[in-house]
Amino acid sequence: QVQLVESGGGLVQPGGSLRLSCTASGTVFSFYSMNWYRQAPEKQRELVAAVTSGTSANYADSVKGRFTISRDNAKNTVYLQMNSLKFEDTGVYYCNTRIGARYYWGQGTQVTVSS
């Protein structure tokens, strides 16, 4: 059974940094693209960053130049380095992948940007 477990969230001041991690189990991690989504209060979940199995990355316009997605296939882990954090980056961040017709989600990790 595929499981995704996120960690690394927390409270940070504007301009600060956090690194999120998502560790996968139950699948051959290196085969699949991995994504980070976030959901702010009273807003829809949105795609923040994605990395292919070949390590090609894409970002939402709102985070380009500030966030970096990367993966370590030896550790079955995908990372999201978040720099220059803003108030509007606050939300629950979820790790996601699609395997065949199924989508898998982690439990989420809370990121709060506040002064």
For residue 29, the model assigns a pLDDT of 85
Q: Are 13 and 77 in contact (CB under 8 A)?
A: no
For residue 18, the model assigns a pLDDT of 98
Q: Are 19 and 80 in contact (CB under 8 A)?
A: yes
Q: Which two tokens stand for residue 107?
A: 């439990």
For residue 52, the model assigns a pLDDT of 94
For residue 61, the model assigns a pLDDT of 97
For residue 27, the model assigns a pLDDT of 83
Per residue in 31-81, pLDDT (tens digit) is: 899 999 999 989 999 999 999 998 899 999 999 999 999 999 999 999 999
- The answer on pLDDT for 113 being more than 90 is yes
- Of 63, 81, 71, 85, the closest CA to residue 23 belongs to 71
For residue 1, the model assigns a pLDDT of 87
72/52 Cα distance (integer angstroms): 12
13/31 Cα distance (integer angstroms): 36
Q: Are 49 and 114 in contact (CB under 8 A)?
A: no
